[in-house]
Structure 1
Amino acid sequence: MSIRFKLGLLLSLLFFAAIGNTVFTFILEKYGEEKLEWVMHTHEVLIESERLISAVIDAETGQRGYLLTQDSAYLEPYHIGVSLVDSHLQELFKLTSDNLAQQQRLENISALLSKKLAELDLTINLTQENTPSSISEASNIVKNNSGKKYMDAIRGELGAFNHEELVLLEQRKGEFKESRAYITTLVGVELLFFVFLSIITAMFVKNKFYQPLGMMIEGTAKMERGERQEISDILPKDEMGYLLSRFYQMSETVYTKAMVLDHEANHDYLTGLKNRSGLEAGVDYSIQTLNHGQKLAIFFIDLNKFKALNDTLGHDIGDEILKESAVRIKDSVRSNDAVYRFGGDEFVVILNDIKEVKHAQVIAEKMLTKFRPPFICKGNLIDISLSIGISISPEDSSESRELLKQADMAMYAAKSDMSVNYKFYDSSMLNRENSNSRIASVS
């Protein structure tokens, strides 16, 4: 077998291996992008679901305000909410058109929404008649709790709907991570493969071409001048290194996209804090890793009168207040504590490994001190105060959801007591029920 044939065979092997691996990597990259698009699509469905229930609540709030005050200004949020309900529902139908089970759930939700909106419309029309009998009838409709039953049913259906989407989300995230792992593995295998072939090629060229050539030059030099000519080694071609670096770069690109997506899914876009999606898991982890003899504290924080400020001064200033509040809260706690934005104007803090309950009180006082200086937003001096509810583990509970509920109840107790800004949970607060549905939605 001639040297030329061996060299041609080796170069052909290198060429076809490079082409095949490039094509295979491209296919895996395309597959990964498709999985990433499905992950983003599922996130969009979940966001649209949240917007739908928010629109229903807005419509109900406008109806309740009108029934109580007969002020037509409350009809504006009612009509906007009704309009948005239809818009978000249609968008959900569109986004889940490939899922028959979810479409059936949306049909059930649509039927319940029709009943709920019909009940709201009926009470408003009766109130607008402004006769004692019509107003009494509207009041009786509200008191018989049919609207609450509709809302409970809607929340139940949406809960099942969202659960299915969360299952799909985890499945699709797993598929996406799997595709990225394939690419990373392929790059590693390619690296070893091409390094091995490069070594073989270099040894072949050196042994079959450059060593004899060097010997000839050396012999010629000795004959002509009696000197030995030094010849530098010939390195493998740079194109191979370029291809390997490109494969690695593609894998890094996919990894970066995954990291960005994971960050966006678990962090609040406005404040940069962790969002509520990982709150319960975060509390569970803190409980499990709690050192012996140490305690854990949960702070449930509410910005007092924020909604009124937001409505009066505008959402831009409201956003600035939320961002600055996040900074002040983070500055009040330690580096090993965790701060979450629960939603709206509410935040949750996990204080890890505190020795005594009074340490939580010290941090609460420090937090209140941080909020004493007014906020400066577009020339406005704005005073923001806090209502803080505190629960302690293991004294109050060792269950994450219970601790969050207890801190939430304590926050409402502090909010209703004008003489204090924070309260620790105690069992007398158990009669408060308004936090149950809020905390149940964390997970």
Structure 2
Amino acid sequence: MSIRFKLGLLLSLLFFAAIGNTVFTFILEEYGEEKLEWVIHTHEVLTESERLIGAVIDAETGQRGYLLTQDSAYLEPYHIGVSSVDSHLQELFRLTIDNLSQQKRLENISGLLTKKLAELNLTINLTQENTPSSISEASNIVKNNSGKDYMDAIRDELTSFNNEELVLLEQRKGAFNESRAYITTLIGAEILFFIFLSIITAMFVKNKFYQPLGMMIEATAKMERGERQEVSDILPKDEMGYLLSRFYQMSETVYAKAQVLDHEANHDYLTGLKNRTGLDTGVDYSIKALSYGRKLAIFFIDLNKFKVLNDTLGHDVGDEILKEAALRIKESVRVNDAVYRFGGDEFVVIVNDIKEADHARVIAEKMLAKFDSPFICRGNVIDISLSIGISISPEDSSQSSELINRADIAMYAVKRDESINYKFFDTSMLN
């Protein structure tokens, strides 16, 4: 077998390996991006579901306010809620068009929403007639709890809807993580393969080209000088270094893109904070990491009157408020604490490794002090206040979901009492 054939075979193997590596890596990268898009899509469905129930609650709140006061100002949130319900429902139909079971659930929800909104509209129309009989009839409709039954049925259907989406989310996150594992395994195998191939190539070039050429040159020089011939060492080879450097550059590109995909899946695009995807896992880890006698606190934070500001000043200003609020919250806590954007205008902070519950109080007051100064955004001077609910582990719970829920309960207790800005959870709130 000639040297030319061996060299051609070796170079062909190297060439096709590089091409195959590029193509296969590109395919895996596209596969990973597709899986990430499904993860993001599922988050969008869950967010739209939350917006739908929020719109129904807004409509119901406006109706109840109008029935109690007959003040037409309460009809504004009612009309906004009614108009939003249809847009959110249609968006959910669009987002789940590939899922027949979810489409059927949405059809059930649509029917319930029609009945619920019809009941709200009927009571408002009767109240607007402003006769004793019509007002009495509106009151009787409310008292017979048909509206509550519709609302409970809507919540049950949406809970089933969200549960299926959460299952899909876990499956799609698993598929995304699996694609990342494939890329990592491929890169490891490629590194080993190219190292082996480079060694074979180096040995071949050394034995078949450089060593004979070096010996010939040295022999020629010695012959010219009249010296005795000796077998000399060959020159070091450099060609494979270039190919390996290109391979490592390509590997670094794949790793960098995988890290970007992971960051996008687990972080909020607007604020840069972690999103709720890894919140339960983060709380569980912090609980397990507690040493004897130490505690951790969960802060559930809501920006007061953010919805009004967002509707009044526009979503662009609202986004700037959220980014600034996230920054101030992050500046209020320690390096070893974790800040998450829970969704909308809500944030969750894991305050790790504190000795006493009062330490959480100190951090809460520091956080509130950060919001004493107003935001300046596009010429608007904006005052933002916080409502903070605090739960403590292990006193309140050692389960992540329960600990977060109890901080949420405490936060709503704060919102009901405008004289305070933060409150610790206690069991009386469950009554």
Q: Give matches, 1:142-161, under 5 Å.
A: 142-161=142-161
Q: Deviations over 1:370-410 (max 9, x none)?
A: 34444444555555444443333333333334434443444
3-state secondary structure, aligned to 2:392: strand
Q: 1:64 to 1:315 in 2, by over 3 A?
A: farther
Partner of 1:332: 332
SS at 1:97 equivalent: coil
SS of match in other structure, 2:239: coil
Structure 1: distance between partners of 2:349 and 2:200 = 60
Task: Read off the aligned partner of 1:262 and give its amino acid letter.
Answer: A
Mapping of 1:31-50 within 5 angstroms? Answer: 31-50=31-50
Which residue, out of 263, 267, 285, partners 2:266? 263
Asked whether the equivalents of residues 198 and 236 of structure 1 are also in contact (C-alpha less than 8 Å), the reply is no
Specify the alignment match of 1:248 in structure 2: 251
Cα deviation, residue 341, structure 1 = 3.7
Give the Cα–Cα distance (whole angstroms) in 1 for the partners of residues 415 and 33 of structure 2: 48
Contact 2:299 2:348 in 1 (8 A): yes
Runs of 4+ in 1 over 6 A off after TM superposition: 227-231
How many residues are paired up?
428
Q: How does 1:184-223 map to 2 (within 5 A)?
A: 184-223=184-223
Confirm or deny: 8 A CA contact 1:194 1:240 kept in the other structure. Answer: no
- Aligned-residue RMSD, C-alpha: 3.2
| Residue of structure 1 equivalent to 2:364 | 364
CA deviations 1:167-222 (Å, max 9, x no partner) are 21221222222222222222222222222222222222221222222222222212
Question: What amino acid does structure 1 have at the position aligned with 2:88?
Answer: H
Q: TM-score, normalised by structure 1?
A: 0.83
Instruction: Write the letter of the residue equivalent to 1:126.
Output: L
Q: Could you tell me how far apart the structure 1 residues matched to 2:27 and 2:94 are?
A: 29
C-alpha distance in 2, partners of 1:84/1:133?
A: 32
Range moving further from structure 2, 103-112 or 294-303: 294-303
Unaligned stretches of 5+ residues in structure 1: 432-443
Structure 2: 5+ residue stretches without partners: none
Greater mean alpha carbon deviation, residues 316-325 or residues 138-147: 316-325
With over 3 angstroms needed to count, the CA separation of the structure-2 counterparts of 1:6 and 1:353, relative to structure 1, is closer
Structure 1 position 292, deviation (Å): 0.3
Mapped contact 1:414–1:421 kept (Cα < 8 A): yes
- The residue that corresponds to 1:286 in the other structure is 286
Distance 2:12 2:169 in 1: 44
* Matched letter for residue 103 of structure 1: Q
Please report how far the alpha carbon of residue 35 of structure 1 lies from its aligned counterpart in structure 2 after TM superposition: 2.3
Q: Secondary structure at the match of 1:298?
A: strand
1:295 aligns with 2:295: yes
Matching residue's letter, 2:430: L
> C-alpha deviations, 1:307-362, integer Å up to 9, x for none?
55555655555554444443333333322223334445444333222222332333
**What TM-score, normalized to structure 2?**
0.85
In structure 2, what is the equivalent of residue 24 of structure 1?
Answer: 24
Measured against aligned partners, the alpha-carbon deviations of 1:278-328 in whole angstroms (never above 9, x if no partner) come to 444433332222210112233344445555555565555555444444333
Q: Distance in 1 between matches of 2:425 and 2:40?
A: 39
SS in 1 for 2:97: coil
In 2, Cα distance between equivalents of 1:382 and 1:41: 33
Aligned to 1:291, what secondary structure does the other structure show? coil
Instruction: Give the equivalent residue in structure 2 for 1:437.
Output: none
Native 8 Å contact 1:374 1:381 kept in 2: yes
Deviation larger for 38-47 or 417-426: 417-426
